[in-house]
Structure 1
Amino acid sequence: MSAELAVMEITALLRSGTSAPIAKRQLRTKDLSEFQVKQFHFIWEVATESGGHLALALDRLSEVFRAQQRQFLELSIAFASPKATANLILLLPLVAVIFSELLGLSALGASFGTALGVISIGLGLLLLIVARISSLRMLEKAKPREADPGAFLDAVAIGLSAGLSPKAAAALARTKSKQLFAEDVASDQLTIFWDAVKVSEQSGIALNGLLLARADTLRHRLWSKHRTQLAKLSVSLLIPLGLAALPAFVFLAVVPVGIGLFSAM
């Protein structure tokens, strides 16, 4: 079961008349990631403490989970390609050595019998390690991670729907964010919030709608940022792979095979 369906079950229980504490205990936390559990508790506590409509707040959270699941799946697929490419290229030198041994060229044995062979294998292994470490760091840095930059604005919208002032709703959301996520709300999110308040006061547009729209925009920006990073990753990986992995292939495969052939003559 997905996180979206797990939250929808809780919403259905609430609408059927089940009390909030009992409904909350029915949450299938095993269907949610650790971060999603924090998201759930964040929205739940803001809604219950502000007096907001809990079922509607969870409806919104279900929509967020659905979009996040789709986007995370797309990012995971995009991430798999450069990762597989890097692993394949890094394995080529070792595969070449194994094939040379299977063909009876005795490349390794002949190489260890000469100074040139030992130096070549040593350099090849060193370059292979450098390429591996560099590529792993780049892959780890670009790996998609769970985040929800729109959670604060969603929480403020819940407080507003309960009748809180913008300032009070923002204060409650910030407090709960610190408690559950162990960090304060990002400054850019606060700037977006106060800008929305200003626009609402000047134009008369409902602040709730503005905040929800801007929350979705923040989430889309994060997804676009990750997509861009993954697109650049395929190119960036060429640097360690081209400068280290390919020379390692020469030192570990081509040179030993050459030494093995000359030794067999």
Structure 2
Amino acid sequence: MLNLSALTTWVIDKSSRFFIDIAHAMAYLKTVLKNVITKPFEFQEFLKQCYQIGNKSIGLVSITGLIVGLVLTIQSRPPLVDFGAVAMLPGMVAISIIREMGPVITALICAGKIGSSMGAELGSMRVSKQIDAMEVSNTNPINFLVVPRVLAATTMIPLLTLYADAIGIFGSWLGINIKDNITIALFLNQAFTQVDFMDIFPAVIKSFFFGAVIGLVGCYKGYHAGRGTESVGVAANSAVVTSSLLLIIVDLIAVQITDLL
């Protein structure tokens, strides 16, 4: 028999921990922002992190984007055939991918790949006392370890999103050609005739926030990992879960703001 009291207590406990965690992350964001303008800026480390983020994610983003475009097209075609509106399919799929599917799916993939990697890497440095050694030697670990990673994630997620959009639209063209025969030029003309500036601009802007969330949460969880070796795995897992939830919340807020414009 379901114990409503125990369930309510569990939900309240998990919710309170989540919001407390977010409050601590926001306080951590203030520290990170202060260090962004603090010299020296580790430009080489920033470039290294940009390369690693792109290199780790581009393969999975490519496969996922292609499959999303294919599936969305194949699933959407039959209802449009019934209404005699197959010509609207490229535009509908392009808008769906650019507005929502591309940014959100790319961000969730990167939360799993990049967020967990940052959490595990910084967590292992905390466990092995490398961060403590940097603090003792009067080296600012946030300036060297955290700021480049957060800025790199904020920079690379929008680029990966645009790449995923392009791959998804290409996958849509492949999906259409399973049943029909349409050239890529005609497909792109039909697709982008329906797309306007307000479809692209808000999606790009919110992808910057997605990147910042992934970088900040991943670094926060790793930087504040516990002392035991098991805390590395906890930090990586917690980084994925928390950043994924925050991405959905940020997307909800972004959609509401876009709807008002």
Please, what TM-score do these two structures have when normalized by structure 1? 0.30
Q: Which has the larger radius of gyration?
A: 1
